[in-house]
Amino acid sequence: MNDPLNNLKTSMKKTVFKDLSFSNERKNAVKETIRRKQSPQPFQSWKEETYLAVLETIQYESCHGYEISTKLFQKNECSFQKNEGQLYTLLHLLENKELLRSHWLKEKKYYSLTNKGKKYLIAYKQKSTKQGVSLKNLIEEASL
């Protein structure tokens, strides 16, 4: 397919814009800013109970995504029932925060808690009963 802006780009190259250029660093910074503004804050999307249910589901054993989804449904955590893809978004987000790790086995990706993830889960359970601490805040701190 032809680029619909091809004529515009050609015309711009012949006018005052011919000497205008941006470094790759600047282009990437602009793209990143646009991407950030378009995507919602990931941690605001889910309830605290959802984070807790996901972390507790894989607390003792590795599970693949469908297995996690099934266990969440059994716990009456229905946040992902009509949009299972969001579960994988959350799993990847927690993996980027280094609270989860993953490995492939027989064409399935298994998730498990890292030591850091276990510490945050324990800290949440201990502090939540005493101080009303937020798991979202603990997870946000994980990347600092």
pLDDT digits (tens, 9 = 90+) for 110-119: 999 999 888 8
Neighbours of 88 (CB within 10 A): 15
**Structural domains for the chain:** 44-142 (1.10.10.10)
3-state secondary structure 116-143: HHHHHHHHHHHHHHHHCCCHHHHHHHHC
Residues 44, 89: contact at Cβ < 8 Å? no
| Residue 17 reports pLDDT greater than 80 | no
Residue 3 phi, psi (nearest 5): -75, 120
Run of H or E including 111: strand 108-113
Tokens 């201990």, residue located: 126
Give the pLDDT of residue 111. Answer: 94
pTM of structure: 0.61
The average confidence (pLDDT) of the chain is: 77
Neighbours of 135 (CB within 10 A): 22
Residues in the chain: 144
> Sorting pLDDT into bands at 50, 70 and 90, what band is 90?
confident
